[in-house]
A and B are shown apart, each in its own frame.
Chain A
Amino acid sequence: MSQTSHTPTAGGDHPRPPGAVRAPQRRLRLAAYPSLLAMPALALLIAAMGYPLLTVTLRSFSDPSWGLQNYVWFFSTPVNVTVLWRTFSIAAWVTIVCVIAAYPYAYLMTAVGPRLRLVLILCVLVPFWVSGVVRTLAWVILLQDSGIINSVIRLLGFDGVKLIRTQTGVVIGMAQVLLPFMILPLYSVMRGIDLRLVQAARSLGARPARAFLQIYLPLSLPGVFAGAIIVFILSLGFYITPALLGGPRSTMLSTLVQSQVLSLLNWGRGGAMGVVLLVATFVLLALAAPLMRQRHKQASRS
């Protein structure tokens, strides 16, 4: 940002009318405070995220009376703890599936010509424009016991498999919904990787697998981490997909929050559940951060 704003002054040896001198100066001043430019976004975040979050947190301590009762309730009710653990485990599985599915796809996007790339991008984006509920219902039709997948399996002479109302079904459905969030960051990082580096490795005698593992993979890791974090965090709050594709054993925390707030009007308990999920997520990310930073450094060094 600041680099581009400096260019007008750098090119200042051109003769200018005296009145125009101030404009670049003002632009320079604005550039010196990039935080000013972030004001609209910041104001929006404070109004739409910060304030509600503050209220939710406050109510988790004050509703119905001041104290820790909502948190005591959360951790002394077995179903909450089970579901919290399950929420993280489903989110982790979805992230893993997304990485495995998105990595080759994103790589393909960088390897093909511009026309085919456009088709591939559209294949990612078009489902993204369809509502999540519609996509989830489509999965119901595919995955159910009398559905297409099971019909084909039975036609081939095998026993049907249980897909819907299992965690597997939920993971499949969520991974499909979240796949664009993995592919796009991966693609943007991979596009910037200089493929001549891999060629260089090959010419120095590395086998394809080694060239990939030692050169390409580390360079693409920032994209993997960026996508993984987005997918993981978005999965934690999923509501519709687990409700429609899952059974009782794949209920996620958001469903419990919904039942506390919407049917029981326990805003305090609902708030406490949200805060626990938020804090747990922060802790997890804090634990993962050093690992990622190290990888990142390694990647930029090579």
Chain B
Amino acid sequence: MGSRSRLAGFVGAAALALLAAAAHAQNAPPAGTVVDGSLKGKTLTFVSYGGIYQDGQVAALKEFVDKSGVKLLNDGPTEIAKLQAQVESGNVTWDVVDTDDFPPFVHCGKLFQKLDLTKLDISHIPPGQVGECSVPAMNYRMVLMYKNDTYKDNPPKDWKDFFDTAKFPGTRAIDGSGSPLGGLIEQAILADGGKVDAMTPADIDKGIAKIKAIGPDTIFWKTGAESQQLAESGEADMIIMWTGRAMTAVKNGAAYTPVWKDWLVVMDQLTIPVGAKDTDASYALINAYLGKKSQEILTEQTSYSPINNEAQPKVDASVAAFLTNTPDHAKLGYQQNIKFWVANFAAASDKWTALMAGN
């Protein structure tokens, strides 16, 4: 019984495990494949946020619908409270739900199913984006846009400048449409001289205080359309915008320039609710959605970045300027500490709401 035989046994076990993993992975057809007529007579309800975004998603799923024979119904906008009501009453009519960043983590296992990743091909999703209960639906970013007229030759270069109202006077507009902006609070803590590696809930107060210190004229916009309107009419000197909206505003003549350093990575998530009627069909939809071609269509129609790293959407220069997956943009991105914000979601939301309400 030498150590050699033990080693051999170990190697053998490892090889077996690898084989098993490979066999497992084979269960999931490559992302984007659809079996002809596989879902004939079935109905799936896809829920997202409407507008140009959901239209693009439906276009991305067209091949899946045509080939599999499924009937695709659309609903929206996604509201977690509605989903909770469905799950509690045991009558879940939603099959695949597109949500924003945090809910799948906050309600994992309670409202959203833990995903069986053997049923999905996640090999082309950018690293670090698959959650226990979610895969990404698309990437976008919170981009800091500054008004050319206001800052001329001395524009803000990073978030420190955003918080420096002495050097860079002017009104700021911040995304106040929903969940707290973890990334922005982290940048506020950094601008305040703090550290974010070991954040505590007390740091949230510091970050929020820093945001509040920008002054009473801060605008918290409530909808993407509102942010676009602010840019197109030149109301604010710096605006935090979603890339899709920023691109459209610039196309419509808004004289604003994006700041690339530490753009905030944000994503939408795809989830399957607890109690969904036909989970296999839901998995099939998501797997088709993750495919190269679907992601290309999604980006071409919405300007949001694809989450399949092989996708090569054909877009014109104005759209390409706002994509987040080009190499020189990708390396400048700032990833918020999702774990921390999920663990402190309630406290952060209460404080964020109080900030919104002027307290």
Residues of chain A having any CB pair with chain B under 8 Å: 77-79, 82-83, 137, 140-141, 144-147, 165, 243-244, 247-251, 255-256, 259-265, 267
Contact = CB atoms under 8 A, between A and B. Distances in A.
Interface in B305-359: 345-346, 349-350, 353-359
A144 B233 contact: yes
B229 A140 contact: yes
A144 B107 CA distance: 39
Contacts of A83: 357, 359
A165 B358 CA distance: 12
A255 B358 contact: no
B359 A259 contact: no
Q: Which 5 A-B pairs have the closest CB atoms?
A: A248-B358, A249-B358, A79-B359, A251-B357, A79-B354
B357 A255 contact: yes
Nearest to B354: A79
Given A262-B79, A263-B178, A247 B358 contact: yes
B125 interface: no
Contacts of B216: 247, 249
Nearest to A78: B359
Interface of B: 79-81, 84, 107, 178-179, 216-220, 222, 226, 229, 233-235, 345-346, 349-350, 353-359
Given A249-B358, A263-B179, A265-B81, A256 B353 contact: yes
B7 to A, nearest CB: 53
A82 B359 contact: yes
A261 B358 contact: no
A244 B178 contact: no
B234 A264 contact: no
A146 B235 contact: yes
Interface centre among A82, A145, A255, A265 (most CB of B within 10 A): A265
A146 B359 contact: no
A260 B353 CA distance: 9
Contacts, number: 69
Given A144-B235, A256-B353, A265-B84, 10 more contacts: A82-B357, A82-B358, A147-B233, A247-B358, A251-B357, A255-B357, A259-B349, A262-B79, A264-B350, A265-B107
Contacts of B217: 165
B350 to A, nearest CB: 8
A247 B220 CA distance: 7
B94 to A, nearest CB: 16
23 contacts: A78-B359, A79-B357, A79-B359, A82-B357, A83-B357, A83-B359, A140-B229, A141-B233, A145-B235, A146-B235, A165-B217, A247-B219, A247-B358, A249-B216, A251-B358, A259-B353, A259-B356, A262-B80, A263-B349, A264-B349, A265-B81, A265-B84, A265-B107
B239 to A, nearest CB: 14
Contacts of B219: 165, 247
**What is the predominant secondary structure among interface residues of chain A facing chain B?**
helix
Contact of A244 (B79, B218, B226, B234): B226
B358 A263 contact: no
Interface centre among A79, A255, A256, A267 (most CB of B within 10 A): A79
Contacts of A82: 357-359
Contact of B80 (A140, A248, A260, A263): A263
B107 to A, nearest CB: 8
Contact of A265 (B80, B233, B234, B355): B80
A77 B81 CA distance: 23
Contacts of B345: 264
B83 to A, nearest CB: 9
Nearest to B234: A146
A147 B230 CA distance: 11
A68 B346 CA distance: 20
B310 to A, nearest CB: 35
A75 B49 CA distance: 35
A165 B356 CA distance: 12
B201 to A, nearest CB: 16
Contacts of A243: 222
Contacts of A255: 356-357
B204 to A, nearest CB: 15
A144 B236 CA distance: 11
Nearest to B85: A267
B183 to A, nearest CB: 17
Contacts of B84: 265
A263 to B, nearest CB: 6
Interface centre among A145, A244, A262, A263 (most CB of B within 10 A): A263
